[in-house]
């Protein structure tokens, strides 16, 4: 319902989730890009959209940090390619990179999945000419505020102390540690968290968790 109400204020001119065909225009006020470019055509299309857009927003952790796609970057990607495609030739096998490594990104809506309320705040803010801001409280703050059990104190791996909030600590609600899908909070105390995690976990266990959404690229362990 909120999306339908939003359509009274904006024109959604190209949305592949709703339509099978692309409708290309010479100029877009705001372009939201989800996912990572994985082929030549993806990269070309992304650069064209940047040229034709006043504002480009990276939508979600895959667009922001590479996300789940980025996992192959930590393995032998040729071996993985052969396993998945069984030796089929002609399949592009690029390194997975965030959108910002290809084009200028004006804003980022983080998360996997993105928080709906935050997305609407972004859209409304942009519509009235206001620069949207992502909350810079760590996930831990929201976890404690909502009265959830601290899995870090139980000895489990959780990146909540260094991950920017705004998700409502949704993973902690299910007693699942935070894996950092929203990226680093400003002034993250990474060293302190890693020191605490090393008391009960190996470096490999810690790093594997940081690899899931690509937050490892922003952390020096």
Is the same domain home to 67 and 122?
yes
In the chain, how many domains are there? Answer: 2
Specify which residues 25 forms β-bridges with: none
Q: Is residue 132 part of a domain?
A: no
The predicted model scores a pTM of 0.86
Q: What span, in angstroms and rounded, lies between the C-alpha atoms of 60 and 63? A: 6
Q: Can you give the residue range of the structural domain that contains 15?
A: 2-127
Residue 18 has pLDDT above 70, yes or no: no
Ramachandran class of 33: left when φ > 0, alpha when ψ lies in -120 to 50, beta otherwise: beta
- Mean residue pLDDT of the chain comes to 89
pLDDT, tens only, 161-204: 999 999 999 999 999 999 999 999 999 999 999 999 999 999 99
Residue 46 has pLDDT above 80, yes or no: yes
Write out the H or E segment, with its range, that includes residue 147.
none
Is the same domain home to 110 and 75?
yes
pLDDT, tens only, 85-102: 887 888 888 888 899 999
Last residue of a domain, one of 77, 103, 127: 127
Q: Is residue 133 part of a domain?
A: no
């Amino acid at each position: 319902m909120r999306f339908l109400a939003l359509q009274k204020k904006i024109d959604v001119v190209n949305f592949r989730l709703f339509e099978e065909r692309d409708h290309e225009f010479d100029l877009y006020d705001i372009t939201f890009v989800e996912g990572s470019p994985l082929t030549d055509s993806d990269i070309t299309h992304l650069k064209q959209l940047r040229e034709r857009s006043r504002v480009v927003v990276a939508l979600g952790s895959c667009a922001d940090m590479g996300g789940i796609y980025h996992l192959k970057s930590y393995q032998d990607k040729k071996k993985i390619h052969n396993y998945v495609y069984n030796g089929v030739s002609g399949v592009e096998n690029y390194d997975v990179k965030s959108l910002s490594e290809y084009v200028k990104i004006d804003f980022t809506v983080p998360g996997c999945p993105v928080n709906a309320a935050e997305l609407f705040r972004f859209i409304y803010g942009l519509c009235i000419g206001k620069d949207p801001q992502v909350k810079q409280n760590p996930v831990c703050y929201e976890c404690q505020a909502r009265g959830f059990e601290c899995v870090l104190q139980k000895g489990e791996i959780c990146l909540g102390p260094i991950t920017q909030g705004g998700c409502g600590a949704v993973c902690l609600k299910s007693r699942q540690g935070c894996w950092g899908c929203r990226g680093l909070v400003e002034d993250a105390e990474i060293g302190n968290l890693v020191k605490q995690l090393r008391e009960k976990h190996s470096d490999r266990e810690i790093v594997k968790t940081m690899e899931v959404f690509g937050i490892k690229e922003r952390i020096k362990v």
